[in-house]
Structure 1
Amino acid sequence: MIQTENINSVMRALADPTRRAVFERIARSDEMTVVELTRGSGVTQGAISQHLKSLKQAGLVAERPEGRNVYYRAQPEGLEPLFDWMSYYSKFWNERFDNLRDLLKEIDP
């Protein structure tokens, strides 16, 4: 069964459009610093740091300090609760599609 706390954390983290955009930028690269994420985002460095904190708490990003910089990388396994939740409900849709297929066969044999 799905762990409610984990899925809530991931959904809450990805519900914010700016935070989702930050996560997507990190996911498309190997690693990024706060400075790189701030550049061209239209968001302050402080706001980016807060978004990263939320993403880290949700298990969606990890950090690696190196000297004065901290590098952030996506943690794909952090999306597992979301994938599990969607997979659980796929049973619902598969049954509905099967029913639709049967109905269409009845209508047009």
Structure 2
Amino acid sequence: MDRLNTYRQIIRNTLKPYTSITYANVNGKNRAAFDSDTDQYIILFEGWNHQQHLHSVLLHIEIVNGKVWVQYDGTEDGITDELVKAGIPKTDIVLGFHEPEVRPYTGYAIA
């Protein structure tokens, strides 16, 4: 399996457990939206809090130019350690939610 297909599989395997998270305070659940054609991998939350509809992104990862870009990470502990443990090197992970000037100091790829 080539590197990008390996990364795709690692991302899917790493994000999939987030769809099993249950919430005590609200009636809702996480859903996976994975598109290998455009290399977009999203976990979103959808549900209800009384009469208020809730809809938000928990995680958004994409592959751009061979790098894994973490565009948004709303998890408590952060997803990057899981991605590294699963086999994606820090040199191939970009923290896209940091401005470009900060990225050289993160320990991850800059772009």
TM-score bracket for the superposition, by shorter chain length: under 0.3
Q: Relative to total residues, which structure has the larger strand share, 1 or 2?
A: 2
Max Rg structure? 1
With structure 2 as the length reference, what TM-score do the two structures score?
0.23
Higher relative contact order (CA 8 A, sep 6+): 1
Task: State the TM-score, normalizing by the size of structure 1.
Answer: 0.24
- Considering fraction of residues, name the structure with more helix: 1
